[in-house]
Amino acid sequence: MEQNIPQNLHQVTIEGIDLDGKGIARIDGKTIFVDGVLPTEIVNIEIYKRRDKFDKARALEIITKSTERVEPLCPNFGVCGGCSIQHIDIDAQVKYKQQVLIDNLKHIGKVSTNEVLPAINSTSWGYRHRARMSSRYVAKKGGVLVGFHEKGSSFVANMSECKILPQNVSDLIPELRVLVDKLSIKDRVPQIEVAVGDKVTALVFRIMDPLNSADEILLKEFADIHHNIPVQIWLQPKGPDTCYPFYPLDVARLSYSITKFNLEMPYYPSEFTQVNPHMNNKMIELAITLLDPQKNEIIADLFCGIGNFTLPIANYANSVVGIEGSSQLVKRAMDNAIHNQLDHKVSYLVSNLFKVDENSLKELGKFDKWLIDPPRDGAYELIKAITPEIAPSKIVYVSCNPATLARDADILVNTHGYTLSKAGVMNMFPHTSHIESIAVFDR
């Protein structure tokens, strides 16, 4: 629906929603992506960017609202670049994510699943236990800002809270602004990374210049004041591998729990772990159910990280081999196996799974089943390298990008002859357009 309104102003009906949570409309057959709108809504829009194949627009007025629209809880919504779909009812968010997954499988992968798994969900606020906040000294705005980037900008949003962080961490934002503003290097602290463990919260300060003695005292006082959380200060002078604990040093190790399997997973704040521990537990339970490991099976956990899936699988399988490209992560994964007294059932290999071919894949060994949990780029080279001699009977594929999952599903189904038995989404990141999903391929 469109009225004859001059220039870049139009009235449109929103037909759908895309992977990034933007509404989709069409004018004279051309696709228009509109921020902050929902399917079925009639809106007045202004086009602000034109491309050959599509335009981008902002909503000026919503004439007819969707029943799935809700009032955003966070005061930073629309300014902060995070939580872009906070205006959508949480159940509708999951519904749209599920549809994006199915559409990607169909259009990119040219496959369909025999069964759509019910979406798994958890708490939708205060869930984010990992976050990288920017810090910026902005004299015009009264000093240091700590938070996330503004929408579509490199500027730091002027925020004093974050609804998806645990409340006690969100409460630290105004205090962190004051703290950094007092440092002698306040304009040389570009980020503060947060890692909330079961027993301690790590705050990693990225420092471009050394601290002086007065700075060190300020950081120690901050940690002491918040001993009830408790807070541990880490410093990172260069890349992620350079971060180290600064103060206090006599606190419990940073770790998270995999509760059903009675596992404690120590980690460093620079290492990848899932941001949502509640959903991580549910995801692991679902993955184990779908993988169905048996006591006589040898199973591969590919892109294993620090053993998030490896160790739970070891409770059921004959043995598990975790494979990861980083020797440092492999060492940490084995440390966790020893820590949980599962090293007799677990072994680890270092291999760059992004550069694997048929010969190098064969050298890794023959396994009864695979669990794959790659980063956003997916596992294209690994999937392509499968041969009938080493093909596992089942692959459980955990994905953080439905487009690359769909691309890899195309190879698995249409080249290697697997069946896509089940697929569904896991709402790891409520109020964001990020889609975590899981799929089962049977041979």
CATH for 9-64 is: 2.40.50.140
80, 83, 162, 400: which is the annotated catalytic residue?
Answer: 400
Q: Which of 252, 283, 282, 279 is nearest to 126 (CA)?
A: 279
Could you please state the CATH topology (level 3) that the domain comprising 130-255 is classified under. Answer: OB fold (Dihydrolipoamide Acetyltransferase, E2P) (2.40.50)
Q: Who contacts 142 (Cβ-Cβ below 8 Å, separation ≥6)?
A: none
Q: How far apart are CA 238 and CA 273, in angstroms?
A: 21
Distances (CA, A) of 379 to 266, 347, 405: 27, 21, 8
Going along 171-230, which residue ranges are E strands? 191-196, 201-206
Q: Is 74 a catalytic residue?
A: no
Q: How far apart are CA 438 and CA 423, in angstroms?
A: 6
pLDDT tens string, the chain, 443 residues long: the values are: 444 445 689 999 999 888 777 899 999 999 999 988 999 999 999 999 999 999 999 999 999 999 999 999 999 998 998 898 999 999 999 999 999 999 999 999 999 999 999 999 999 999 999 999 999 999 988 899 999 999 889 999 999 999 999 999 999 999 999 999 999 999 999 999 999 999 999 999 999 999 999 999 999 999 999 999 999 999 999 999 999 999 999 999 999 999 999 999 999 999 999 999 999 999 999 999 999 999 999 999 999 999 999 999 999 999 999 999 999 999 999 999 999 999 999 999 999 999 999 999 999 999 999 999 999 999 999 999 999 999 999 999 999 999 999 999 999 999 999 999 999 999 999 999 999 999 999 99
Q: Which CATH superfamily, name and number, covers 95-123+276-442?
A: Vaccinia Virus protein VP39 (3.40.50.150)
Q: How far apart are CA 58 and CA 52, in angstroms?
A: 18
> Burial of 231 by CB count in 10 Å (0-12 exposed, 13-18 middle, 19+ buried)?
buried
Looking at residue 165, what DSSP letter applies?
S
Q: Which token pair is 429?
A: 């990141």
Residue entry with tokens 């399988």: 317
Q: Which of 436, 429, 437 is nearest to 124 (CA)?
A: 429
Q: Which token pair is 136?
A: 């910026």
Distances (CA, A) of 275 to 124, 166, 218, 269, 332: 13, 11, 28, 11, 19
Are the beta carbons of 161 and 196 closer than 8 angstroms? no
Q: How far apart are CA 275 and CA 296, in angstroms?
A: 33
Q: Which pTM was predicted? A: 0.93
Q: Where are the domains of the chain?
A: 9-64, 95-123+276-442, 130-255
Distances (CA, A) of 373 to 70, 302, 329, 363: 33, 6, 14, 20
CA 300 to chain centre: 23
The dihedral through the CA atoms of 11, 70, 123, 265 has a sign that is: positive
Residue 17, H or E segment: strand 16-17
Q: Do the first three CATH levels of 95-123+276-442 and 130-255 match, i.e. the same topology?
A: no
